[in-house]
Amino acid sequence: MSSSTVRKCLCCNDKFRPDARNRRHQRYCPEDACRRASKAASQARWLARPENRDYFRGSANCERVRQWRLAHPGYSRRSAPSRPDALQVVSNSQPVEIEQPESSCATPALQDVWLMQPALLVGLISVVTGHALQDDIAESARRFVVRGRDILRMARGSPEFQNHERQAHPPPRAAAPRASPV
């Protein structure tokens, strides 16, 4: 290495090899801290010149900036040109199907079964069955749901439907003498 290709950084005093394109005036190494020091020194040199001291002050400079902005409308609002999509087919995302976990052997609590049901329904089940405990009400509710599903699955004309219609139903009871009509 010749002495002309290696320089000493003015900031950190480390030796560095200047860039070939900037060799004649590069005095700082390419480290970030040294680049910031180079920028600060350059700005200080520029502002130290007498013709640049009031470059950003005064009415004449305000007018100069105003005229430049009129000549270059939208300069500060320019955005980077948008890059076109890559030369490949854009794949659309596909919805993910969430698998429901298999139910365990344990029966769910009443809160899980009737989470969205009104309190009226839970109260009605407790009055009809005579149970006040949640586990008993939940078991009764499960039986009611199963029975309701069985009834709804029957179609007219099927043997299950005909057998269901042929069942003996108890005659309706007469109302109590002082009962008000419903």
- Provide mean pLDDT across the span 21-31: 91
Give me the residue label for tokens 């949640």.
134
pTM recorded for the entire structure: 0.35
pLDDT in tens, 112-128: 655 555 676 778 788 88
DSSP at 54: T
For 88-103, write each residue's pLDDT tens digit.
666 677 777 777 666 5
Domain boundaries, the chain: 7-73, 110-165
Helices (H), ranges, 75-178: 110-113, 119-129, 134-153, 159-165
- What secondary structure does DSSP assign to 62-93, as a single string? HHHHHHHHHHSTTGGG--PPPPPPPSSPPPPP
Q: What is the rounded CA–CA span in Å between residue 162 and residue 154? A: 9
For residue 2, pLDDT beyond 60: no
| pLDDT tens, position by position, 36-46 | 999 999 999 99
End-to-end CA distance of the chain: 110
**In this model, does residue 57 exceed pLDDT 70?**
yes
Percent of the chain topping pLDDT 70? 63
Place of tokens 């560095």: 16
The pLDDT value recorded for residue 1 is 44
